[in-house]
Chain A
Amino acid sequence: MKKENGSFALKLCVAICLALFASNSVSQACTTKVGAVLPTSVDWGRPIAETAQFVVEQVNESGGVSGCKIEMILRDTQVDPKVGVDAAKALVDLDGVQLLLGAVSSGVSMPILTSVSVPSKVMQMSCCSSSTAFSKLAEDGKTKGLWYRTFATTGVQSAVGAKVAKDRGFKTVAILYKNDDWGQDLNRLITRDFGALGIKVTSAVAINDGQPSYKAEVTNALSGNPEALYLGLYPNEGTAAVREWLSLGGTQNMIMANSLKSEDFRENVGLQYLDNAFGTDTASPRVASADEFVKLYKNHFGKEPSGPGLANSYDATMIALLAMEAAGKGATGDQIASQVSRVTDPEGTPITADAAGFKAARTILAEGGNVMYQGATGNVRFDKNGDVSAPAVVWKFTDTGTKEIEYLSLTEVDEFIASMN
């Protein structure tokens, strides 16, 4: 099912695209389809899809994968599992894709993985699904090695959040967390980590989406009179909750998860209130290609890559396409998935995360060598469950975006996590 189901309009479109790209390479006489299942109808989902598209453009610019132009077919999940699974199934069955990128919500990624990717032996690479359920599924051997995600497990994020609180000398902290799988996981982990460091959690309050007011929740969080506030929220409800928090006299000492690394949040809360707000993130801008990502992104989109999941989406797409290149022409999903270790090999030749890096990787891979992908989130390395651990940064908001306060290398993160246990 790698052939197109021959519709005239599609062929015409392909022909036009080919004509446009003809100048780049003589070998691009074919098209390989990859599927993307992302929530494009949601405000924060669209930039994630845009970033994935940007990677595809660059790879095509460098000559495509195995001499073929990549066509990314983008489907919207509407954050509805039924719709997402149907879209994934259509991509696999009707378009014959061997690679699925997505989804964002774990509640959508999971049924796609169990009822589409694994039965059809298609590789699935998610940028942003964070649920610990995936690690468990992989441990049970039910992902068949087809599942990868570039979103570092919540453990890193919570450990660094706890470290910030310890370093700033906070003794009591209140937690506001998004009431979904990610938020619940994060809350459980950070409560444990605070406890391990002797920091008292005065209250942990779940925040549901789309409420007109969070007064009750915020009042509850304020009641223990905490020295600091930990925020495991997304920009929308984060803005609303923090505004109420501040207006009710809550402290400006805040620790934020990477999901709040958003310009909307900064502007809507107001920079003047965020002076003592520290964010954590798993990105590692310690390699040239990470700065390159920010530069590339700014050049292309004219703004800072400050939404949630953008760097992860970039790396997810790039690594998946690199693995596809390594697997060779006409590779099936499980063959592509088995090549991921070859392109994220810590012993391999370092490559950058752009068109030039892709070109370099192509030569090395063709000669049978391995490469080490240095991406927007650092030197991505997957464990046996398809999870990534990552170095971490502590950041702060500035006039133009965010600035880094502290950097923790992979070893420092691992040591710190070990010291708490």
Chain B
Amino acid sequence: MIGIFSYIVFFATIASILAIAVLGLNLQWGNTGLFNGGVVAFFGAGAYGTLLLGGSPQPDHIAGFELFYPIALIGGMAIAGILAWVVGILTLKMRHDYLAISTFGVAVAFENLMRNAEWLGGGAKGLRGFERPFRESLGDGFLYNSVFLILVLFCLLATYWFLEYLVSSPFGRLLRAIREDENAARSLGKNPAQIRLTAFVCGSVIMGLAGGLYGTFYAFVSPQDVLPTLTFQIWAMLIVGGAGNNKGAVLGAFLIWAAWTFSGWALSRFAPIEAQLYTGSIQYVLIGLVIVTMLLWRPQGLFPERLVVSQSSLR
């Protein structure tokens, strides 16, 4: 039985980390209408940032400042935020698909930078030498994973509450106003460019938090962790869950990640031996089917956005 619990804890940790990243994207796309096609760059910046700041010194690259873990994690988020600020200033003038393409380019550039800059992040070998906090007292096993899950859940809940508060505040209304009609918002004396940048940076910092936790959990990150697949996965989670709804974003993350992993588990268990070699390919088909079915059946997502005219009708 302990094995099942151990796996569930593990699964919930990864799903929660991904859910945090989906919440960050929801702020950008769901609430502000910014098509960020480079989620993985900010996720990766958080992961690399945290491990670089919190890791032990390595001979062949600059890693290892051995900072106190919370500072390293916040540092990782800050690096993601700074990256988002620079990218935002350069690209947020663009709309929709143009923004998507340019941010996608940023993500590919980020991956290639990490793959090639051996002095920075260890190159393709990845970044090692990070000691997980409290590993000495908690060990490596189930206990550690459980405690880490509690930390991740705390971060997830904090992010969720923060975003719920944010979107129901006047600032949240402003985000939606910009999403729906930027000119109208401007005519009311608002500064859409600045608000868009704020939302973009804020969402990216949240993605950076997810990345930092992800890097901490594996105590390792390599360019293979920041491939465009992750951007796609996070988008699929948001769309299936329901863009514009934080509950949907979290649920979508759990659901898609469960489909992603459970399909592999089920196939390995129930497919006949001759078909085992092809389960990898079948799994891709199944994942695609789930997403397409969801889009056809419920394009607004499981939990569509609830638009309210005024705050009073919520209560």
* Contact residues, B12-27 vs A (CB, 8 A): 14
Cβ of B69 < 8 Å from any Cβ of A? no
Q: How far is the CB of B55 from chain A (nearest CB, A)?
A: 13
Tell whether, in the assembled complex, residue A107 and residue B219 are in contact, meaning their CB atoms are under 8 Å apart: no
Contact A86 B218 (CB under 8 A): no
Contact B118 A184 (CB under 8 A): yes
CB neighbours of A153 from chain B (8 A)? none
Cα(A41)–Cα(B280), bound, Å: 4
A108 at the interface (CB under 8 A from B): yes
Q: Name the interface residues of B211-228: CB closer than 8 Å to any CB of A.
A: 217-220, 222-225, 227
Tell me which of B3, B261, B281 contacts A86 (CB under 8 A). B261
A185 to B10, CA, bound (A): 32
CA gap between A385 and B222 in the complex, in Å: 22
Docked Cα-Cα span, A76 to B267, in Å, equals 10
Q: Is A93 a contact of B284 with CB atoms below 8 Å?
A: no
- Are A83 and B260 closer than 8 Å at their CB atoms? yes
A40-B277 contact, Cβ under 8 Å, with A94-B7, A110-B222: yes
User: Separation in Å of the A108 CB from the closest CB of chain B?
Assistant: 7
A182 to B115 alpha-carbon distance, docked (Å): 12
B277 pairs with A115, CB closer than 8 A? no
Q: Enumerate B178-195 residues with CB–CB distance to A below 8 Å.
A: none
A85 adjacent to chain B (CB < 8 Å):
yes
Contacts of B116 in A (CB 8 A): 179, 206
Q: Is A208 an interface position by the 8 A CB rule?
A: yes
One of A129-137, A227-235, A300-308, A367-375 at the interface: A129-137
Q: Of A45-53, A61-69, A260-268, which binds chain B?
A: A45-53
Give the contact stretch, choosing among B84-92, B120-128, B306-314.
Answer: B120-128
Contact (A115, B278) CB under 8 Å given A107-B224, A181-B123: no
**CA of A39 to CA of B224 in the docked complex: distance in angstroms?**
14
In the complex, the chain A residue whose C-beta lies closest to that of B218 is A111
B261 in contact with A107 (CB, 8 Å): no
Residue interface mask B210-247, A partner, CB < 8 A = 1: 00000001111011110101100000000000000000
Partner of B225, one of A76, A107, A180: A107
Q: Are A107 and B3 in contact (CB under 8 A)?
A: no
- In the assembled complex, the CB of B36 is this many whole angstroms from the nearest CB of chain A, namely 20
A79 contacts B224, C-beta separation under 8 Å: yes
Closest CB in chain B relative to A300 CB, distance in Å = 14
- Knowing A81-B222, A86-B261, say if A181 contacts B124 (CB, 8 Å): yes
- Do B7 and A49 touch across chains, with their CB atoms under 8 A apart? no
Q: Give the chain A neighbours of B268 by CB distance below 8 A.
A: 73-75, 87
Q: Which chain B residue shows the least CB distance to A89?
A: B10
B133 within 8 A of A: no
Q: Contact check, A86 vs B11: say whether CB atoms are below 8 A apart.
A: yes
How far apart sit A79 and B230, CA to CA, in the bound complex (Å)?
Answer: 12
Nearest-CB residue, chain A, relative to B227: A80
| Distance from A140 Cβ to chain B, minimum over Cβ atoms (Å) | 9
Residues of B within 8 A of A413 (CB): none
Complex Cα distance, B144 from A324, in Å, reads: 29
- Known: A50-B277, A179-B115. Contact between A75 and B264, CB under 8 A? yes
Closest to A110 in B: B220
Q: Does B140 contact A (CB under 8 A)?
A: yes
For residue B272, give the distance in angstroms from its CB to the closest CB of chain A: 8
Within 8 Å of chain B (Cβ to Cβ): is A106? yes
The smallest beta-carbon distance between B111 and chain A, in angstroms, is 10
Instruction: Name the interface residues of B81-129: CB closer than 8 Å to any CB of A.
Output: 112, 115-116, 118, 122-126, 128
Q: Counting CB contacts under 8 A, is A333 at the interface? A: no
B165 within 8 A of A: no
Chain A residues with CB under 8 A of B198: none
Q: Does B293 contact A (CB under 8 A)?
A: no
Q: Which residues of A contact B (CB under 8 A)?
A: 1, 5, 7, 9-10, 39-42, 45-46, 49-50, 53, 73-76, 78-83, 85-87, 89-90, 92-94, 96, 105-108, 110-111, 114-115, 118-120, 131-133, 136-137, 179-185, 206, 208
New A-B contacts (9) at CB < 8 Å, excluding given A108-B224, A181-B222: A40-B277, A46-B278, A49-B276, A76-B264, A87-B268, A89-B11, A120-B141, A136-B128, A180-B115
Report which B residues bind A (CB closer than 8 A): 2-4, 6-7, 10-11, 14, 112, 115-116, 118, 122-126, 128, 139-141, 144, 217-220, 222-225, 227, 229-230, 260-261, 264-265, 268-270, 273, 276-281, 283-284
